[in-house]
Structure 1
Amino acid sequence: MKNLRTYLPPILWGVLAIAVLILWFRPNPNTSVAGPSEPYPWEVAEQAGLPEAVSGQTIRALPLPDTLYFAGERVPLEDPDVRERLDRELHVNTFFHSNTIFLIKRANRWLPQIAPILAQNGVPDDFKYLAVIESDLQNKVSPAKAVGFWQIVKATAKERGLVVTREVDERYHPLKSTEAACQYLLQAHNRFGSWTNAAASYNIGQYGLDKRLDEQQVDSYYDLLLNEETKRYMLRLLAIKLIMENPETYGFFIEPEQLYYPEETITMDISEDVKDLVGWAQARGVTYKTLKRHNPWLRQKDVKARRDGKPWVIALPAYAHEPIVATDSLSSD
């Protein structure tokens, strides 16, 4: 009898091979790929207590508050335009999940440090959310060269007492730049008599807002016809305020250990020119990277002494130490 392969066409051999593979890799009907006790995603959401609007496989519209205030001033939610603009920003920022999660994490580190500075300067606490929408609480640089948490341009920084040189740019200092922002906001409030208008002017400028209020013969930001960016500005600020004050209402469940916290630091002074900040940091037991993490306002690998005779105050991690050598050979004579 001739070999069976002689009589079977190649295609039949292919069919037989596939059948064998299917039988070989067939899953056990008594087992589950996910495991017998593993719940479905929507069951996890329900067990976690997620609100109906953001749980399960169905995404529902978020409710708007009946009343809302910013810096003690009532938001006119009875105005359909204002209400719909808030509705948009609330949904955009709620469902922009990854970005908003990191805003909440960073806010836990920075807002408790920013809030006391606002209070000391007589600026309402709600303005801490302005830093959030300006920069996501990061030292960003805008296309217009506005810098830092508060997005301050160079000319304004110098007007408000911040040092901006080749080696140092205090716009990158989150707390010193907060002081400068307070000066601006107080001036804007004195000009407009409204914290809402003061906040809006932070985006469009005091002159720009004043001009539009005069042209359109109104007194309130909410009554102005504005460009898209400024039209959304205050409503995004309000949406972030709502989400950060009530994160679980909008589906953000972040465990305390997952938040970012202020890091324990000590301070050391620099009163002389330092030609090599890499070596200066290493002599104190830290890396240059760590030095820059805590002092992003140092812009070069060297720094000159302040002209006013005051020292530069440098933040370092708690484990840093004074140089072991008696004389700091890294400073110029």
Structure 2
Amino acid sequence: MNRIHLFVLYGLSLLALVLSLLLWKSQMVSNPELANVSSVPAGQWTNGVDSVRIFPIPRELEFAGEPVPLGDREIFERLEREIYVNAYWQSNMILLMKRSGKYLEEMSKILEANAIPDDFKYLAIAESALTNASSPAGAKGFWQFMPATAKEYGLEVSNDVDERYHWQKSTVSASRYLQKAYEKFGTWTAVAASYNMGQSGFSRRQREQLQENYYDLLLNEETSRYLFRILAFKVIFENPKAYGFSLDQTELYQNPPLSSIQVEENIKDLAQWTKDRGYTYKELKLYNPWLRQKKLSIPRGKSYLILLPEK
């Protein structure tokens, strides 16, 4: 391309820019609403409906009775990050709060009965959002147990039954796991971190870095954020209105009153079994997700409790 062509192209581009500026200016004059819109100086926000809300961040906080060193600016920023990430994910947080009405009260009682601090209910939220989640690695249920660990801590994992999906029983087993981890690490903070990355992995980082305290360790991104996600759930759940959530108790989800049926003999067809009792197969699976097949084989001397809504 010769110089004449280049000059022509340059001139046309400059002309287009001038025309665009003139058109924009004429719109601003003819439309007062557009004329009132201006850029906001850095660090300032408008007071209108669409302004960004700045949330309060606690200056003092504990996890399971252990202080979080929020005087350390880096620790404070990590907590603040997770609070904003979760507080502004409103749809997820609302559903978590609603879903918690089904489980957290009973879960707290199970944790207390097994000498586990109540804050660990927020670990279950971080693990699974209180759903029977399944990870690509094969971890399942509220507490994300792998098959071998589930069996080690007393849960049945077989063809017909997977008690990782039995949230009450898996909470008892998780309590046993957490208690054993506490005997090893001596702090509940380390227990929570090790639940994410594994006890051996957390111990290895402690040895390599010559540090015992979670807050002093350089860890992978997921575990570095993990405890702060738990803390963010705790802060928001315990101070919902401060973060824009005003759910009434009546708006939380609730399970219906349930009755239990003890079964000691094989059930060849669970759909027919439930229909014979005036229920649907859907109800059976909804309240007993640990039943994994359309039948139930029961070993000699064993029995199961099946939960169904009271009639």
Q: Which amino acid aligns with 2:97?
A: I
Out of 301, 305, 310, the residue aligned to residue 313 of structure 1 is 305
Out of 178, 187, 190, the residue aligned to residue 171 of structure 2 is 178
Q: Distance in 2 between matches of 1:270 and 1:54?
A: 63
Aligned to 1:159: 152
After superposition, the Cα gap between the structure-2 partners of 1:118 and 1:55, relative to the gap in structure 1 and judged at 3 Å, is: farther
- Compute the displacement of 1:200 (Å): 0.6
- Compute the displacement of 1:306 (Å): 3.2
Residues 1:266 and 2:224 aligned together: no
Aligned to 2:51: 58
Q: Distance in 2 between matches of 1:133 and 1:91?
A: 15
After superposition, the Cα gap between the structure-2 partners of 1:96 and 1:179, relative to the gap in structure 1 and judged at 3 Å, is: same
Aligned to 1:149: 142
Q: Which amino acid aligns with 1:188?
A: A
Contact 1:192 1:198 in 2 (8 A): yes
Cα RMSD, aligned residues only: 1.6
Aligned to 2:27: none
Aligned to 2:244: 251
After superposition, the Cα gap between the structure-2 partners of 1:55 and 1:191, relative to the gap in structure 1 and judged at 3 Å, is: farther
Deviations 1:169-209 (A, max 9, x none): 00000100001110110011000000000011100111110
Aligned to 2:217: 224
User: What TM-score results when the alignment is normalised by the length of structure 2?
Assistant: 0.84
- Compute the displacement of 1:263 (Å): 1.8
Contact 1:54 1:251 in 2 (8 A): no
Contact 1:85 1:235 in 2 (8 A): yes
Out of 284, 291, 310, the residue aligned to residue 298 of structure 1 is 291
SS at match of 1:101: helix
Deviations 1:92-143 (A, max 9, x none): 0000010010100111210001111100110001111110110000001011
Contact 2:56 2:242 in 1 (8 A): no
SS at match of 1:315: strand
Aligned to 1:118: 111
Q: Which runs of 4+ in 1 moved over 3 A?
A: 52-55
Number of residue equivalences: 267
User: What TM-score results when the alignment is normalised by the length of structure 1?
Assistant: 0.78
- Compute the displacement of 1:81 (Å): 1.5
SS at match of 1:125: coil
Q: Where do 5+ consecutive residues of structure 1 fail to align?
A: 1-51, 320-333
Identity rate, percent: 51
Q: Distance in 1 between matches of 2:152 and 2:206?
A: 25
SS at match of 1:123: coil
Deviations 1:271-300 (A, max 9, x none): 011110000000111100000000000000
Deviations 1:210-246 (A, max 9, x none): 1101111111111111111000000000000001111
SS at match of 2:55: coil
Hey, which of these two has a bigger chunk of helix by percent? 2
Q: Which amino acid aligns with 1:82?
A: I
